[in-house]
Amino acid sequence: MFSHFLLGAAGAGLYIGDMLFYAILFVVLMAAIAYFAWNPVSAILKERADRIANDMDSAEESRKEAQKLAAERKEALDKSHAEATDIINNAKDSGDRQKALIVDEAQKDAQSLKERAHSDIEQERADAFKGAQNDVAALSIEIASKIVKKELDADSQKELIDSYIEGLGDNK
């Protein structure tokens, strides 16, 4: 047991063979672990780190994109509000103008209609007056002529009456 304690030097001598064996064993073990575990796992770790970096980059990018889109939408919304107000104002203005125009026109039309009706009535009345005048004149002339005819030729009264009646009959 004490041979162990004195590094094996006291007993069976230094086991160079063991040292060699362990050195080779360790190198072989290291190579096997490198081939079967260390390198694949390191590759996976690197791939994962790359993936995470990529994901973070793309997340940042999409966040920026989303912010830009939101800003654009807000701007568009504001613009559409302004546009809507403009449109409504324009419509109101043009409606007002149209209203004024229509009312004006209607008033003018009514005025002219009224004037024409007035003149028509005037004309009618003048025409009727004229017709009546003519009739009265003709009637007066006829009566006058009949009276004259009677005074002129009393003898032929009968004839006159006859002719008158005849004339009436004709008139009928």
Partner 1 sequence: MDGESIATFQFLGLTFNTTNIISGTVAAVIVFLVVFIMSRNLKLRPTGKQNALEWMMDFTNGILRGSMDAKKSTGFGLYAFTLFLFLFVSNEIGLFLQIGWNHVTYLRSPTADPIVTLTFSLITMMLAHYSGVSQLGFKGYFKNTYLTPFKVWLPISIFTEFIDFLTLGLRIYGVIFAGEMLLKIIGGMAFSGGILNMVVAILLALIWQAFSVFLGAIQAFVFVTLTSVYISDKIEVEE
Judged by beta carbon, residue 20 or residue 59, the one nearer partner 1 is 20
Q: Which two tokens stand for residue 13?
A: 């001598």
77 burial via Cβ count (<10 Å: 0-12, 13-18, 19+): exposed
Distance in Å, CB of 62 to partner 1, minimum: 21
Question: Rg of the Cα trace of the chain?
Answer: 67
Considering the complex, state which of residue 31 and residue 165 has its C-beta at the smaller distance from partner 1: 31
Does 33 help bind partner 1 (rule: CB under 8 A)?
yes
Choices 33-41, 54-62, 68-76, 125-133; region in contact with partner 1 by CB under 8 A: 33-41
Give the CA angle between residues 34, 32, 51 to the nearest 5°: 30
How many other C-beta atoms lie within 10 A of the C-beta of residue 167?
13
How many angstroms separate the CA atoms of 19 and 16, rounded?
Answer: 5
Query: What string marks each residue from 85 to 124 as x (binds partner 1 by CB under 8 A) or -?
Result: ----------------------------------------
Chain residues that interact with partner 1, rule: CB under 8 A: 1, 3-4, 7-8, 11-23, 25-26, 28-30, 32-34, 36-38, 40-42, 44-45, 47-48, 51
